C-alpha cells in the first residue's frame, strides 16, 4: 500500500488518467485555460439549464392548453431570470429545530456535483474541459454524489415531509444507480473505452466483421438506451419518478423547508441535472456532436480531426449537441406531462425486477456481440 | 356466470396513447386569454356586477331585505305629490336618496335582481372594479347607475309569443294613428274619384260594398265612448276599465256602421247618376254587342245589390280577387238588367 502511493502521484500515472485527447480549451497559459474550463461548466449549469427550464415551462404549458410564461420578456424568455432575482430577494428562513450548518450546506452539496459533472461532457469537437480516461465512471460517480445533498437537506430540515422525501430520494438512487451503471457499462464495452470523447468517436468508426460502419449506439443497444433513459429520469427525480418531491403527499419533499436562494440552488440542481443527463445520453447513445449516423461534421474528415474541425465544424458540432440536449429535455417534459407519478413500491419493483435483469442481459448480449463481431 | 373484463391492451399501447394526447395538445391553440392586454371573451350575460336603474326604484326595500349578506344600503325620504285632480288629496311617495351595494360583502347570489319587482336591478357584465382598499368596494348609486347602461337588452321573445304589455300598447297606439291617416287619404281619394270619373273609378265604390265593418276606419277612436254602454256595464258591476273598453268598442262599431251607410248611399247615387260614363275596358266587348249606349244609360235598374253569379264564379276561377270579381259580376248583372229592360221597351214599342 505504502509502495503504491508514490506510484499514484507519479506524473506518468496522472498523464494516463488525464488528457486522452487535447481540448481546444487547453492553452499554454494555465490560468486562462482553467478560467475557460470553469466558464464552460458554469455556462452549462447556469445558462443552458435556464434555457432547458424555459423549454419546460413553455412545452408543458402548451401541452396543457396554456401559453406558459408570457410577461417577462418577449414570450416570457426572461421568466427564469426574474425568478432568480426573486429568489435572491426572499427571506432565508431556517426552521428552529433544523441543524443550521447541515441545512445551509445541503444545497451546495447538491449543486456542486451537478456543476462538476459538466467537466467531462464533450460538447463538440475539441470543446470539453477534460477528457478523462475514466470519463464515464467519473460522470456517473459525480452524479451520485448529489443525492447526498438531498439526504442532508431532508434530514437537517427537522420536518417529517422533508425526511421522508430525503429517504425516498436515497432509496430511489440506490435502486436506479444499478441499471444506470449497467446500461452505461454496455456502452463502454462496445466502445472499448470509458473516455466520453472516445465513446463519441467510436460511434463514427465502428467495425462489424472488419467493415467500418458508422452507427450510433442507440441502434444496437435500443434496450440499453431505454433502460438508461428510464433510470436517468429516476436519478433526477423527474416525473413520473418524482416520489422524493411528490407534491400531493410530501408537500415538497426535501425542499419543503427551503426558501430563497437555497431553494433556487436545489431547483438549479434539478435543471442542471437534466442538462447533464441529456448530454450524457447524447454522448453515449446519440453520437454526441455528429449530425447523423455516418455523416461527420464539415472539417472533421481527417482521421485526427477529433479535436480540430475548424471554426465551422466546431460551432456546428456544439449546436448539434445543444439541439440533442434540448430534444432530450423536451422528451423529459413530455413524459412529465403525460404520465402520473408512480407509487413507491412500483418504483422499486420496476428497478429491481425489470430494469436490473434487463440491463444484465443487455451487457451479456453486447459483450457477446463485441467478441463475435 | 362469467364476469366480462375489458380486454387488456398490450403493454405500451396506453403509454403511447398518453404521449399522443399530450403531443396533440402541444400543437393546439392555447385557450389562455391574455386578459390585461386583450379583452376576455365573456358570455354576453356574464354576471359581473349588479347595476341599478334608479329611475325604476320605488324604495320598496325588497332587495335589501332579501339580501343574505345585508350588503345593500338604501336611504329615502317621503315627499308629497300634489293632487292629480282638483280637489283630490295629496299623495306621498318615497324618493330614493342613497342606494349602495358593498361588493366586498356581496356574494353575487343575484337574489336582489330576482326579487326586484320594478326592474330596477340588473346584472351587468362589467367586472373591472377592483380596488386597493376594501372600503372602495362600497359602490354608490351613481356608479351603479353607470353600470346599468352596460346591461344588455333582454333576449328576443320566442316566435308567436305575446308582446309585452308596454310594447303591445305602444304598437296599438301607433297603429291607430296610422289607421287614422289612412282613413283620411281614403276619403280624399274617394272625393277625387267622385269629381273626375276615371275608368278605374267605377270599381272603387263597388268594392266598398264588399268590405265588412272591420275594414272601416274610424277617427278619434281613442277618446270617445258610447256613454250608454258604459253606464250599462258599470251598472252590471263590471270594472271601470272593462266598461270603458266595451263602451269604446261600441262607439267604434256605431261609427263604422254609420260610415258604411254613408258609403252605400253615395254608391247608390253614383250607380244611378254616374253609370252613364265610360265602361271598364274589360267590358268593351259586351258593350259593343249591346244596343246603343245612349238608350242603355237611361235605363234605371232596381235592386242594384245583386250580382251575376256566373261572371263572379268565372272571375274567381281566373284568380281575380274577391272584390274585383264581385264588382265585375255586379256590373254584368246591371248591364243584363238594363238590356232586358231595353228589350222589353223595344218589344213593347213596335
Q: One digit per residue, pLDDT tens: chain A, 373 residues?
A: 444 444 444 555 445 444 456 666 777 777 888 888 888 888 888 888 999 999 999 999 999 888 888 888 888 888 888 988 999 999 888 888 888 899 989 999 988 988 888 888 888 887 787 778 888 888 888 888 888 888 898 888 888 888 898 888 888 888 898 999 999 998 888 888 888 887 887 777 666 666 666 778 877 888 889 999 999 998 888 888 888 888 788 888 888 888 888 999 988 888 998 999 999 999 888 888 877 776 667 666 654 445 566 777 788 888 888 999 999 999 999 999 888 888 888 888 988 999 999 999 999 988 888 887 7
Interface ipTM above 0.85: no
- Quickly list DSSP for A191-258: HT-S-HHHHHHHHHSEEETTEEE---TTTTTHHHHHHHHHHHHHHTT-TTS-TTT-HHHHTTGGGTT-
pTM here is 0.64
- Among A67, A70, A337, select the one facing B22 at the smallest CB separation: A337
Tell me the C-alpha distance between B153 and B149, whole Å.
10
Nearest CA-CA distance, residue A59 and chain B, Å: 7
Cβ of A67 within 8 Å of Cβ of B26? The answer is no
Nearest-CA residue of chain A relative to B32? A66
Cβ of B34 within 8 Å of Cβ of A59? The answer is no
Cβ of B26 within 8 Å of Cβ of A62? The answer is yes
Tell me the C-alpha distance between B219 and B176, whole Å.
9
Tell me the C-alpha distance between A358 and A227, whole Å.
8
E strands, chain A, are 206-208, 211-213
Q: Within a 10 A sphere around the Cβ of B205, how many other Cβ atoms?
A: 21
Tell me the C-alpha distance between A162 and A262, whole Å.
15
Cβ of B26 within 8 Å of Cβ of A63? The answer is yes
Cβ of B19 within 8 Å of Cβ of A67? The answer is no
Give the mutation candidate from A59, A337, A350 for the B interface (greatest B CB count, under 10 A). Answer: A337
Residues in B closer than 8 angstroms to A226, CB to CB, are: none
- Among A59, A66, A335, select the one facing B32 at the smallest CB separation: A66
- Quickly list DSSP for A71-90: TTTGGGTTHHHHHHHHHHHS
Cβ of A339 within 8 Å of Cβ of B15? The answer is yes
Amino acid at each position: 500500500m505504502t509502495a503504491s502511493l508514490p506510484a499514484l502521484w507519479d506524473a506518468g500515472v496522472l498523464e494516463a488518467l488525464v488528457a486522452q485527447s487535447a481540448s481546444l480549451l487547453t492553452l499554454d497559459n494555465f490560468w486562462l485555460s482553467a478560467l475557460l474550463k470553469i466558464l464552460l461548466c458554469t455556462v452549462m449549469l447556469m445558462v443552458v439549464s435556464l434555457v432547458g427550464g424555459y423549454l419546460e415551462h413553455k412545452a408543458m404549458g402548451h401541452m396543457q392548453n396554456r401559453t406558459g410564461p408570457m410577461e417577462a420578456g418577449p414570450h416570457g424568455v426572461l421568466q427564469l431570470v426574474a425568478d432568480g432575482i426573486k429568489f435572491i430577494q426572499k427571506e432565508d428562513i431556517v426552521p428552529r429545530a433544523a441543524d443550521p450548518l447541515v441545512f445551509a450546506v445541503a444545497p451546495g452539496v447538491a449543486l456542486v456535483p451537478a456543476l462538476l459533472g459538466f467537466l467531462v461532457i464533450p460538447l463538440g469537437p475539441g470543446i470539453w474541459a477534460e477528457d478523462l480516461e475514466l470519463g464515464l465512471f467519473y460522470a456517473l460517480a459525480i452524479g451520485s454524489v448529489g443525492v447526498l445533498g438531498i439526504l442532508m437537506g431532508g434530514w437537517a430540515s427537522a420536518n417529517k415531509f422533508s425526511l421522508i422525501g430525503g429517504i425516498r430520494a436515497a432509496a430511489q438512487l440506490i435502486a436506479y444507480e444499478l441499471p444506470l451503471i449497467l446500461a452505461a457499462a454496455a456502452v463502454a464495452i462496445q466502445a472499448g473505452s470509458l473516455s466520453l470523447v472516445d465513446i463519441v468517436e467510436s460511434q463514427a468508426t465502428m467495425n462489424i466483421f472488419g467493415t467500418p460502419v458508422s452507427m450510433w449506439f442507440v441502434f444496437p443497444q435500443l434496450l440499453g438506451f431505454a433502460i438508461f433513459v428510464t433510470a436517468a429520469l429516476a436519478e433526477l427525480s423527474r416525473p413520473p419518478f418524482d416520489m422524493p418531491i411528490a407534491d400531493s403527499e410530501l408537500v415538497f419533499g426535501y425542499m419543503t423547508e427551503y426558501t430563497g436562494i437555497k431553494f433556487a440552488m436545489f431547483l438549479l440542481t434539478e435543471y442542471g441535472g437534466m442538462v447533464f443527463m441529456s448530454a450524457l445520453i447524447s454522448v453515449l447513445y446519440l453520437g454526441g456532436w455528429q449530425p447523423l449516423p455516418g455523416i461527420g461534421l464539415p472539417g472533421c474528415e481527417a482521421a485526427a480531426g477529433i479535436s480540430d474541425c475548424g471554426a465551422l465544424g466546431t460551432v456546428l458540432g456544439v449546436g448539434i449537441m445543444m439541439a440533442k440536449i434540448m430534444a432530450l429535455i423536451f422528451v423529459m417534459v413530455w413524459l412529465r406531462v403525460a404520465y402520473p407519478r408512480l407509487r413507491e413500491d412500483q418504483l422499486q419493483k420496476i428497478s429491481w425486477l425489470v430494469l436490473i435483469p434487463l440491463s444484465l442481459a443487455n451487457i451479456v448480449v453486447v459483450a457477446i456481440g463485441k467478441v463475435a463481431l | 356466470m362469467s364476469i366480462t373484463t375489458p380486454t387488456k391492451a398490450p403493454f405500451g399501447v396506453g403509454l403511447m396513447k398518453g404521449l399522443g394526447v399530450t403531443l396533440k395538445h402541444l400543437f393546439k391553440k392555447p385557450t389562455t386569454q391574455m386578459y390585461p392586454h386583450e379583452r376576455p371573451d365573456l358570455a354576453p350575460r356574464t354576471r359581473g356586477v349588479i347595476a341599478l336603474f334608479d329611475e325604476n326604484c320605488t324604495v320598496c326595500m325588497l332587495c335589501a331585505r332579501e339580501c343574505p349578506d345585508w350588503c345593500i344600503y338604501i336611504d329615502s325620504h317621503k315627499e308629497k305629490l300634489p293632487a292629480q285632480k282638483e280637489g283630490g288629496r295629496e299623495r306621498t311617495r318615497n324618493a330614493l336618496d342613497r342606494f349602495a351595494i358593498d361588493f366586498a360583502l356581496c356574494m353575487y347570489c343575484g337574489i336582489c335582481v330576482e326579487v326586484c319587482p320594478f326592474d330596477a336591478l340588473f346584472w351587468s357584465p362589467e367586472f373591472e372594479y377592483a380596488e386597493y382598499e376594501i372600503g372602495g368596494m362600497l359602490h354608490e348609486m351613481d356608479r351603479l347607475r353607470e353600470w346599468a347602461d352596460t346591461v344588455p337588452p333582454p333576449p328576443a321573445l320566442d316566435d308567436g309569443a305575446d308582446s309585452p304589455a308596454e310594447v303591445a300598447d305602444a304598437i296599438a297606439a301607433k297603429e291607430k294613428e296610422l289607421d287614422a291617416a289612412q282613413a283620411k287619404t281614403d276619403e280624399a281619394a274617394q272625393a277625387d274619384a267622385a269629381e273626375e270619373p276615371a275608368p278605374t273609378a267605377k270599381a272603387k265604390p263597388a268594392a266598398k260594398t264588399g268590405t265588412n265593418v272591420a275594414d272601416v276606419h274610424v277617427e278619434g277612436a281613442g277618446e270617445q265612448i258610447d256613454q250608454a254602454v258604459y253606464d250599462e256595464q258599470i251598472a252590471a258591476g263590471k270594472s271601470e276599465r272593462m266598461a270603458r273598453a266595451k263602451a269604446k268598442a261600441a262607439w267604434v262599431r256605431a261609427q263604422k256602421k254609420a260610415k258604411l251607410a254613408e258609403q252605400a248611399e253615395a254608391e247608390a247615387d253614383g250607380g244611378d247618376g254616374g253609370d252613364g260614363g265610360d265602361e271598364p275596358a274589360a267590358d268593351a266587348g259586351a258593350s259593343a254587342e249591346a244596343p246603343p249606349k245612349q238608350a242603355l244609360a237611361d235605363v234605371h235598374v232596381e235592386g242594384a245589390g245583386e250580382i251575376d253569379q256566373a261572371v263572379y264564379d268565372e272571375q274567381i276561377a281566373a284568380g281575380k280577387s274577391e272584390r274585383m270579381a264581385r264588382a265585375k259580376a255586379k256590373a254584368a248583372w246591371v248591364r243584363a238588367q238594363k238590356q232586358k229592360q231595353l228589350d222589353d221597351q223595344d218589344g213593347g214599342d213596335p
